[in-house]
Homo-oligomer: A and B are copies of this chain.
Amino acid sequence: MSGRLSIVGLGPGNTELITPQVTRALEEANDVFGYVPYVARVPDRVGLAKHASDNREELDRARSALAVAASGRKAVLVSGGDPGVFAMAAAVFEAIEDEPHWHELDIEVLPGITAMLAAAAAVGAPLGNDFCAINLSDNLKPWDVIAHRLRLAVEADFAIALYNPRSKARPEGFGKALKIMLQAGAGERLVTFARNVSRPDQSLSTMQLSEAEPEMADMKTLVLIGSSATRRVGRFVYTPRRIE
């Protein structure tokens, strides 16, 4: 029997946003690994072993899933959203980098609906022109890198999706980012705070960036800042395709 590791995305929360490909991988799995709230979203089933672990233990979790796959079992590693966007896929490839015996394992990455796509859809089409995605919570990169990227993103007039705007490790992240974007001249841009997107308690709030407050973003919020062209039409927010 040959094992397999599937690194899958559960989407932002609504079960109707989980792809059939991911559902099938979960149905075929012997073992599921992941952060506690994501593993909890996988239905219990006879023959399925669940291995939930704490946040900030990504590398250990990746190694455990790899070891189980190497033993011949079908392991699934779950992320919220998409596994390749600020989630577990990169951690798995980090884990195998110094372990050549894992390079030949059957490893697959199955994409998911990442939070920024669901948030954008909920509010309209703010990502309808060029955009970028920046992870504010990551405690694995210096703040200077984040600040540099934020300034250039404003200068490039990208719409900007901010992931993890307020984490335990960096609760002040969004407040600092806000200050940088305002200094870079983005005060008149529209910002949408999308909390618990796609879930029953989803909330959406849009305003000018100059009216935003640091505490409007928490750990369950995806922040979408528009480009200079992003605007409201009726109850929607969108970025036109045309730039004059």
Residues of A within 8 A of B (CB): 11, 14-21, 24, 58, 82-87, 89-94, 96-97, 100, 103-104, 107-114, 117-118, 120-122, 124-135, 138, 140-142, 145, 148-149, 152-153, 155-158, 233-236, 238-244
Contacts and interface: CB of A to CB of B under 8 A. Distances in A.
Nearest to A132: B132
Q: Top 4 nearest A-B pairs by Cβ distance? A: A90-B128, A103-B234, A132-B132, A89-B125
Contact of A21 (B14, B86, B244): B14
Contacts of A20: 15-18, 20
Number of copies: 2
Q: Which of A18, A96, A121, A152 has the most CB of B within 10 A?
A: A121
A131 B128 contact: no
Nearest to A243: B141
A89 to B, nearest CB: 4
Contact of A114 (B91, B92, B117, B148): B117
Contact of A85 (B14, B127, B240): B127
A80 to B, nearest CB: 14
A124 B83 CA distance: 10
A121 B110 contact: yes
Given A133-B130, A152-B152, A240-B90, A121 B83 contact: yes
A241 B91 contact: yes
Contacts of A93: 124-125, 128, 233, 236, 238, 240
